[in-house]
Amino acid sequence: MIRVPEWHSLLFRSVMTEESAKIVAVIPAYNEGTRVADVIRSAKEYVDTVVLVADGSSDNTANVAREAGAYVLEHMENCGAGAATMTGIEAARGLGANVIITLDADGQHNPDDIPAMLKPILDERADVVFANRFGQRNKIPFIRRLFNGIGNIVTFGATGKWTADSQCGFKVFGPKAVAEVDLRMSGFEFCTEIVRESVQRRWRTVEIPTKVVYSEYTMAKGQSFGSGVKTALKILLRTFLR
């Protein structure tokens, strides 16, 4: 049973009955055994199925996710956030999904934002919806604002499209994007690759302000300055070689 706000229930019911929409959440995870259960349980209130990809995790992420009710896939080694996301997307396709939501496993994204993220897809106004953590009064540490700003500039240089929060993993793919998305970058640079795909495939995009929760834990899990530089170089190299 999918819980949606009252104002949205008629639209949602119409899509589900007329188009047999199946909504699947994809969660890439690396050593998130202490956090992922809450994320899965919260996401399940809004979607039909949760697919979790344990990306070479050495802890109990996979077992915890199964106990929380997720469909779990495991990479034998850590392949990167992009590779794990694509594995999850392919699994969601196999489960019959025509709407896919991606979100992080560490709890920084609020699953209660899912209905607002879904609305442009269900209204048929968008093929991809990007979360924008900077569109609300979120307490975002300066270093994260700096890294994301640099990421936005690099993404614009690589794609020609400005996206306010290009590096956020919280996204919704509608039927056209679900059918066409094909990620080749295995690391964090996959977020920029999605923006590039939206340009190349002429996907309609919408950005929705969302909440975010940063803690010492989520800060430690993010990219360091060094890895951010490597990500930027990979993006630019792939752009000039494609």
Mean of pLDDT values over 130-143: 83
84 contact partners, CB below 8 Å, separation of at least 6? 28, 29, 30, 53, 55, 75
Mean of pLDDT values over 160-187: 94
**Stronger pLDDT, 97 or 219, i.e. the higher one:** 97
- List the structure tokens of 240: 């000039």
d(CA 167, CA 212): 13
Question: Quick one: pLDDT at residue 5?
Answer: 39
Helix (H) or strand (E) holding 145: helix 142-159
pLDDT band at 81 (very low <50, low <70, confident <90, very high): very high
What is the tens place of the pLDDT at every residue in 11-66?
443 444 335 579 999 999 999 999 999 999 999 999 999 999 999 999 999 999 99
13 contact partners, CB below 8 Å, separation of at least 6? none
pLDDT band at 137 (very low <50, low <70, confident <90, very high): confident
Question: Quick one: pLDDT at residue 7?
Answer: 32
pLDDT at 226 over 80: no
Domains of the chain: 6-235 (3.90.550.10)
Mean of pLDDT values over 79-100: 97
pLDDT band at 68 (very low <50, low <70, confident <90, very high): very high
* Helix ranges restricted to H, the chain: 9-18, 36-44, 61-67, 81-94, 114-122, 142-159, 175-180, 190-200, 216-221, 225-241
Query: Measured between alpha carbons, how far apart are the two ends of the chain, in Å?
Result: 43
